[in-house]
Structure formats: structure tokens, C-alpha cells
């Protein structure tokens, strides 16, 4: 239990210091894990007076999600906010919101909290997965994050520093045996890994083209997360939906629900081929808003003889997406 004892002690210290009275989402505090070298970026919640705690964004992916949120590219109330975040989260809330596992840890540690919004809850958020309990590695990292943000807050109070973010740089603390070292680091650049290569079924393509197809207007194709989590394996996840619509009418040709063991490229390829097989139409072109996904599907474009085009928005696919979300 030492790992969890340290985490709760850090949370209590954070709660007592109330760093959100000064720090808001413009004060991003970097923390380097002394063991792994990974950097997290702590952002206090509470300046608005409604939600209190800390979001601890992990690595370049977490930092990128933070930038998209603060820039307004993704609105806080958007469902996409839940699907893209890569962070460890600490929130203060009512006892009624804690689950049995959290209450068991609190009871075993002999802790008690006073107040309706004083009970700590910890969650791990990973893209595509339902918010879940921390493992021990995550608990250690979040402990470092809470302690470092508290240290930065005290540095501000004592007049030793005034900022943690400036154009293109963030102040990063590294815990040491006798305190902290601090240095300015450049903002991390997030470079997501390329999509997996498409495994083409050329026999299937030849068969469906040999059957004959009728020309059709452009189609729209893409993938998005379903807001309804699925409980399979060690951790619940949000499945994705691959979808193909007719751009002019919004007619949904085909769709496929898939989990994290499948990938966007393969799933969308199967949906496109299924739409052609089931309806007998071959579109003049297929429109995508995700350029990386479209590029990965280039072999399918060549095999079908259909041009794939990247556009900024997919109106009919977005309308279908909203319908799916409402239905779920």
C-alpha cells in the first residue's frame, strides 16, 4: 500500500494548498519522471470554482490534446474531448461518486475526508478507452505530478518564479533526492505513428468489379468513436464505427463497429468494399477528411480505379455520426 499512501498524501497536500487559486489552464507545469524520463504536464482545475483537481497530461500526445482543448479546436463539452485525452486525472468530489475499489483503498489507509467536494478520485484516461483505475506505475507518476505542482505553487508564493509557460517552452521539474531541478524545455511535437499498412484482398476486388457496377456520385468515408463503452478484456473501451455515405443524399451505404484489436485502415477498407458489393455502385470518387487514413488506403484507390480526395469537412458523414451518437 505505500504507493497508494503516497498518492493520497500528495492529494491531501494539493487540496490543502489550493494551488488553483493562482494556477489555471495557462499555467502548465512540466514534471519529468526520474526513472523513465517521461514528461507529464500538470494543469490545475478549480479556477472556475466548480471542478477542483489536476489533469496530468502524458507525453507529446497528452500535450497535443491539451493544446487542442485550450485553442478551442475541441470544445470541453464535445464527446471528442473524452476520446482524445491521454492523462492522469485527480478530482475532488462527493463521496457518493467513488466506486467500491476506491472506498476500499481509503478504508484500508484509514483516511477520512470532510466536505461534500473533498473526496479524491483518480482516473487514467487513454485515447479510445474508458476512464479507468490507475495502476501502480501511473499512481507513482501522478504522485510526482501533484508534488511538483505544489512545489511550483510554493515557488510562486515565495517570489522565486512567476511563470511556467512561455512561447514555445514549458518549465519542467525533475524530482531529486534533495528537492527539484527545473529547466525550460521546448514544447513537445506530437508525431503519431503512421497507420498500419493495408492488407489488400485483390481477389475480392477483382470479383466485385467483374460482376459489374453502376457509376455513382461521390461518397464520404471515415471513422469515429461510439460514446457507448464496451466491457471486454482488462479495461472497457469505446468502439469505433467505420462508415460510408453518399455525399449528395446522406444515404448510409455500410457501417462496421470495431474494437481496439482492429484498425481504422482495414475496417474502413472492408466497409467500402462491402458497400460496393451490396449495392452495386462504384463512386466517382471517395472523400476523406483524415489525410493519413486516406493515404494508407491508396492501394484500394488504385485497385478500384476510384480517386480518393481529402476535404476539410464531410457534411453527410457528420450528420450520420450525430445520428449514431444520439442512437447510442
pLDDT for 114 equals 79
The SS3 of residue 216 is: strand
Question: In this structure, what C-alpha cell is assigned to residue 198?
Answer: 493495408
Q: Where in 94-188 does DSSP place strands (E)?
A: 119-125, 165-166, 169-176, 179-186
Asked if pLDDT for residue 48 goes beyond 80, the answer is no
- pLDDT for the residue numbered 179: 87
- Distance (Å, whole) CA 113 – CA 250: 53
User: What is the structure's pLDDT at 205?
Assistant: 95
Per-residue model confidence (pLDDT) at position 122 = 95
Higher pLDDT, 96 or 151: 151
Cα–Cα nearest to 31, from 175, 186, 138: 175
Give pLDDT tens digits for 24-41.
877 899 999 888 899 999
Cβ neighbours of 85 (radius 10 Å): 22
Quote the CA–CA distance of 63 and 47 in Å, as a whole number.
20
Model confidence pLDDT, tens digit, residues 159-201:
888 889 888 999 999 998 888 999 999 999 999 888 999 999 9
Q: Percent of the chain at pLDDT above 70?
A: 98
User: Hey, what's the cell of 326?
Assistant: 444520439
Give the C-alpha separation, 5 to 158, whole Å.
Answer: 28
Amino acid 170: pLDDT: 94
Report pLDDT for 302: 97
pLDDT of 96 higher than 90: no
Cα–Cα distance, 253 to 268 (Å, whole number) = 12
Q: Stretch 285-311: mean pLDDT, rounded?
A: 96
**What pLDDT sits at residue 325?**
80
Q: What is the dihedral of CA 199, 200, 201, 204, to 10 degrees?
A: 150
Contact (Cβ atoms closer than 8 angstroms) between residue 299 and residue 272: no
Mean pLDDT of the chain: 91
pLDDT at 70 over 90: no
Task: Please determine, for residue 99, whether its predicted confidence score (pLDDT) is greater than 90.
Answer: no
Please list, residue by residue across 215-232, b when 16 or more beta carbons sit within 10 angstroms of its beta carbon and e when fewer do: ebebbbbbbbbbeebeee
CA 232 – CA 40 distance, rounded (Å): 29
Residue 17 has pLDDT above 80, yes or no: yes
- Domains, the chain, ordered by start: 2-186 (no CATH), 202-327 (3.30.420.10)
From CA 286, how far away is CA 242, in angstroms rounded?
Answer: 14
3 state DSSP class of 125: strand
- CA distances in angstroms from 126 to 38, 49, 170, 188, listed in the order given: 16, 26, 23, 18
What is the C-alpha separation between 31 and 22, in angstroms, rounded?
19
Helices 2-17, 136-157: inter-axial angle, 10-degree rounding: 30
109-161 confidence digits (pLDDT tens): 888 887 778 899 999 999 999 999 999 999 999 999 999 999 999 999 998 88
Structure confidence by residue, pLDDT tens digits, 240-249: 999 999 999 9
Return the CA Rg of the chain: 24
What mean pLDDT is predicted for residues 37-58? 89
Q: In whole angstroms, give the CA distance from residue 304 to residue 307.
A: 9
Average pLDDT for residues 194-219, to the nearest whole number?
93
Q: Looking at residue 39, what is its pLDDT?
A: 96
pLDDT for residue 324: 82
**In the chain, count of helices (H) and strands (E)?**
10, 15
Distance CA 123, CA 121 (A): 7
* Least-confidence region, from 138-142, 219-223, 224-228: 224-228
pLDDT of residue 177: 84
The C-alpha cell of 229 is what? 463503452
Residues 6+ apart with CB under 8 A from 198: 265, 266, 269, 296, 297, 299, 300
Amino acid at each position: 500500500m505505500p504507493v497508494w499512501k503516497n498518492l493520497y498524501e500528495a492529494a491531501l497536500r494539493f487540496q490543502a494548498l489550493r494551488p488553483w487559486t493562482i494556477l489555471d489552464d495557462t499555467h502548465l507545469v512540466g514534471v519529468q519522471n526520474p526513472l523513465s524520463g517521461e514528461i507529464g504536464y500538470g494543469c490545475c482545475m478549480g479556477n472556475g470554482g466548480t471542478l477542483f483537481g489536476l489533469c496530468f497530461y502524458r507525453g507529446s500526445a497528452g500535450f497535443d490534446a491539451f493544446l487542442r482543448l485550450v485553442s478551442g479546436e475541441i470544445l470541453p463539452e464535445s464527446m471528442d474531448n473524452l476520446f482524445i485525452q491521454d492523462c492522469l486525472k485527480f478530482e475532488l468530489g462527493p463521496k457518493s461518486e467513488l466506486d467500491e475499489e476506491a472506498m476500499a483503498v481509503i478504508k484500508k489507509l484509514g483516511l477520512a475526508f470532510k466536505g461534500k467536494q473533498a473526496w479524491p478520485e483518480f482516473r487514467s484516461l487513454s485515447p479510445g478507452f474508458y476512464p479507468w483505475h490507475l495502476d501502480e506505475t501511473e499512481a507513482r507518476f501522478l504522485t510526482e505530478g501533484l508534488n511538483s505542482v505544489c512545489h511550483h505553487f510554493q515557488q510562486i508564493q515565495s517570489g522565486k518564479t512567476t511563470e511556467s509557460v512561455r512561447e514555445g517552452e514549458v518549465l519542467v521539474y525533475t524530482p531529486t533526492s534533495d528537492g527539484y531541478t527545473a529547466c525550460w524545455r521546448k514544447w513537445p511535437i506530437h508525431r503519431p505513428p503512421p497507420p498500419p499498412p493495408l492488407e489488400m484482398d485483390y481477389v475480392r476486388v477483382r470479383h466485385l468489379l467483374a460482376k459489374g457496377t453502376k457509376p455513382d456520385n461521390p461518397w464520404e468515408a471515415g471513422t469515429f468513436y461510439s460514446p457507448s463503452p464496451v466491457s471486454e478484456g482488462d479495461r472497457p473501451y469505446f468502439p469505433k464505427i467505420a462508415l460510408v455515405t453518399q455525399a449528395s443524399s446522406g444515404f448510409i451505404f455500410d457501417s462496421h463497429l470495431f474494437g481496439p484489436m482492429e484498425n481504422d485502415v482495414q475496417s474502413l477498407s472492408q466497409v467500402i468494399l462491402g458497400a460496393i458489393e451490396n449495392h452495386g455502385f462504384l463512386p466517382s470518387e471517395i472523400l476523406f477528411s483524415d489525410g493519413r487514413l486516406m493515404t494508407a488506403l491508396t492501394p484500394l484507390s488504385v485497385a478500384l480505379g476510384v480517386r480518393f480526395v481529402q476535404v476539410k469537412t464531410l457534411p453527410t458523414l457528420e450528420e450520420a455520426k450525430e445520428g449514431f451518437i444520439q442512437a447510442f
